Amino acid sequence: MIYTAAYPPLKAHANQLKTQHLADLFKAEPNRFEAFSTAIEGLLFDYSKQKIDSQALDGLIKLAEERDLSEWIQKLFAGEAINHTESRAAGHTRLRDVNNPSPDVSKQWDRMANIVSQVHQKQLRGYSGKPITEVVNIGVGGSDLGPLMVTHALDKDRHPQAPGIHFVSTLDAQQLQKLLNKLNPETTLFIIASKSFATIDTLSLADTAKAWIQQYAKSESATLRHFIGISTNAAKMAEWGILPDYQLLFWDWVGGRFSLWSAIGLSIALAQGMAGYKSMLAGAQAMDQHFKETPFSKNIPVLMGLIGIWNTNFLELAAQAILPYDSRLKYFASYLEQLEMESNGKSTRRDGTKVTYRTNPILWGEVGPNAQHAFYQLLHQGTERVMSDFILFSQGVSTSKRATFHHQLNVANCLAQSRALMIGQASDDLNKHYPGDQVSSTLLLETLDAHHLGMLIALYEHKVFVQSVIWNINPFDQWGVELGKKLASEIMQDIKSGSTDHLDSSTAGILKAVLAHSTGVSDEN
């Protein structure tokens, strides 16, 4: 837990630093950038706009040592069962060992490569014999957010033979229905992506998609040629009807929110080609190496994690904004919401006792320039202290004159905002007064390609791991999501039976109102 020998002096120091304005730290120490930034090939991490000094940093590193962070990193990479509540390893880093893959991983890459090549070569055909041209990934959480985020981010580098790729996740089926209205069943392939192959959201959408194909394909066997399954559970895939050659497997030691590195990344491989997909794995592996081998004082995931701890547990900030200055990272914040909050949104320590300190802050975000016109007001003049991560790329999307101009505008705005949040601006008119003193870090990556995106994702994964070690919590389970699933299935029975007596008055009242106004079921599908 966090209360080691390093804690009391750090807390005292934080209380003292709290009273100083960030702008004053820069005045006192003009070379803060040199002191509080670190770079590796392709990525610069600037944390000089954090309310930190070398004493705090040394204390945080001591805290990490007292929490045995090095040993935990070793356990992670050695495949020990550190997900103790499920008696499993967290083996996602094994999936990106591009030069030395284990036979089980290599076999699934071959199977993925085979599907990718068949689709790209127009050899994978639907019930009418026409080649597949559109692919719909049906999945939720980790079986959706990673592939969605990456395919959107790397769309510019699509493989020339890539099919159209679509993502469907919402339980109400409106996304799916809208797509089905546009797509041709003859040429559409569905990927049913589910680690458990038991998630009602995914399976109900899969059934709706199956019924749609079946009404045209007529036979069951022809219908099933339109469905690929990706799961850890081969038996459940087979039971649903996924044909043996259309099944891709991964393993229970891959957490859902870490599964884009497994066959769950098939949609990424279809969009990018296997070479692009592997380049993303290689980028993540470069970050793994850095994380494993670099002393804490220069280790970017360790520093990011410790700064988060500093902000959360010492400066008592409870919110984290993610602000990418590139619209290609439109889904990055949603992806991180699951990665961070499902991992470290916990309050039970590894020894089963309740934590007595804050764990993961509320994390949200938006593409920076859009957020400037939405919630930045709160960052500049609200009452909440928020830590922000700015993410920027040195290179724009193209070297054309207009693109360069837009890129420069983007850079100017990113730097202006982190600077404005830091320095603020005094005014006697309080409506025009900016207090500043809002902390932020900036990640500057060379360019947005598969390799750098792989690095960026792995960086946040390891940051989450570092924080879990300091907080002494298990970042790899998610028991908190189970209760809602159980209650939903009970209420589903209540909807069918119309019985509400056993429910609390609020839930019963709403359900009765729904039932009173529901339109009933028509004959159409």
Q: What residues act catalytically?
A: 342, 373, 485
Q: What are phi and psi of 90, to 5 degrees?
A: -115, 90
Measured CA to CA, the distance from residue 71 to residue 76 in angstroms comes to 9
Partnered with residue 247 across adjacent β-strands are 229
Distance CA 461, CA 90 (A): 11
Tell me the closest approach of the beta carbon of residue 194 to ligand F6P, in angstroms: 3
Number of residues that bind ligand F6P (CB under 6 A): 14
Q: Select 299 or 338, whichever has its Cβ closest to ligand F6P.
A: 338
Cα separation, 374 vs 370, in Å, equals 7
Question: Of 82-90, 140-148, 302-310, 438-446, which part binds ligand F6P (CB under 6 A)?
Answer: 140-148
Candidate list 59, 91, 126, 141; residue touching ligand F6P; CB under 6 A = 141
Please state, in angstroms and as integers, the Cα–Cα distance from residue 28 to each residue in 23, 59, 113, 335, following that order: 9, 21, 56, 38
What SS3 class is residue 315? coil
Please, which residue, 246 or 335, has the CB nearer to ligand F6P? 335
Q: How far is the CB of 269 from ligand F6P (least distance, A)?
A: 18
Question: Cβ(214)–Cβ(220) under 8 Å?
Answer: yes
Nearer to ligand F6P, 119 or 145 (CB): 145
Nearer to ligand F6P, 202 or 440 (CB): 202
Least distance CB 319 / ligand F6P (angstroms): 23
Q: 253 φ, ψ to 5°?
A: -80, 10
Distance in angstroms (rounded) separating the CA atoms of residues 171 and 489: 14
Residues 273-302 that bind ligand F6P (CB under 6 A): none
Given a contact cutoff of 8 angstroms between Cβ atoms, the answer to whether 391 and 326 are in contact is yes
Kindly state the DSSP code that residue 163 receives in the 8-state scheme: P
- Binding map of ligand F6P across residues 205-244, x = CB under 6 A, - = no contact: ----------------------------------------
CB 391 within 8 A of CB 332: yes
Cβ nearer to ligand F6P, comparing 140 with 392? 140
Contact between residue 77 and residue 35 where contact means Cβ atoms under 8 Å apart:
no
**What mask, x for binding ligand F6P by CB under 6 A, covers residues 193 to 212?**
-xxx--x--x----------
**Interface stretch with ligand F6P, choices 39-47, 122-130, 190-198, 411-419 (CB under 6 A):** 190-198
Strands 319-324 and 386-393 come out as parallel
Query: Which of residues 263 and 309 has its CB atom nearest to ligand F6P in the complex?
Result: 263
Alpha carbon separation from 213 to 15, 239, 450 (Å, rounded)? 63, 18, 34
User: Toward ligand F6P, which CB reaches closer, 264 or 317?
Assistant: 264
Q: How far is the CB of 326 from ligand F6P (least distance, A)?
A: 25
Q: H-type helices in 327-449, by residue range?
A: 332-336, 343-344, 368-372, 376-381, 401-423
Work out which of 50, 93, 108, 143 binds ligand F6P, going by CB under 6 A.
143
Only one residue has tokens 């499920």, namely 86
**Strand blocks (E) in 33-133:** 37-40, 43-46
Least distance CB 466 / ligand F6P (angstroms):
21
Which is nearer to ligand F6P, 390 or 465 (by Cβ)?
465
Strands laid side by side in the 188-193 sheet: 164-168, 134-138, 188-193, 227-231, 247-249
| Binding map of ligand F6P across residues 249-268, x = CB under 6 A, - = no contact | -------xx-----------
User: Distance between CA 463 and CA 43 in Å, rounded?
Assistant: 15
Token representation of residue 50 = 């954090």
The CB-of-205 to ligand F6P minimum distance in angstroms stands at: 11
Please report how close the Cβ of residue 143 comes to ligand F6P at its closest, in angstroms. 4
Q: At its nearest, how many Å lie between ligand F6P and the CB of residue 92?
A: 13
Residue selected from 48, 418, 478, 500 as contacting ligand F6P according to rule CB under 6 A: 478
For residues 320-349, which are near ligand F6P according to CB under 6 A?
342
**Which spans of this chain sit near ligand F6P (rule: CB under 6 A)?**
140-143, 194-196, 199, 202, 256-257, 342, 478, 481
